[in-house]
Amino acid sequence: MIYTGLADPAVPFQEVVNYYERAVTARGGLALTQEFLRLFLVPGMGHCFGGAGATDFGQPFSSVVPSDPDADGLMSLVRWVEDGTAPASLLGTRYGQGGNEAEPQAQRPICAYPKFPEYTGGDPSSAASFRCAERERGSPMSPAARYLN
């Protein structure tokens, strides 16, 4: 599993997508590649953690260690290896601050590339208001100008 933040100032996410696409080409297609390698693009996440989005999914420096394998990248990987259940998405959470650190403020799906979260209506702080929708491969959205140096 590979993950990268779409707001990472150190590693441009487009280069991570390019790397993954090279793996897809070398393996002979997306379906064959996804048998052993998945890429997760995390909206709003900086370099490996933090940021404005629902960016906690059990990675180092997460606010809370989730008990649900769908919300914990490492446990999702363990489940994939041990049970053969590949993750189609992870559950990203934004936790509260100032005494409410364990209180989820917002949740979003973190979809396996080339899918990307799409708002379907309802409570924008609920993961149930989003679905993982197909996106064109190899053409990720460009980061906002303020993130480009």
- State how many domains the chain has: 1
Which pTM does this prediction carry?
Answer: 0.86
In the chain, how many H helices and how many E strands? 3, 6
Domain residues for the domain of 11 are 2-147
Partners of 118 in the beta sheet? 131
State the DSSP string of 47-59: SSS-BSSS-BSS-
Tokens of 130: 């989003």
The pLDDT tens digits along the chain (149 residues) read 999 999 988 998 988 998 999 999 999 999 999 999 999 999 998 888 888 888 889 887 776 777 788 999 999 999 999 999 999 999 999 987 765 677 889 999 999 999 999 999 999 999 999 999 998 887 555 555 665 44
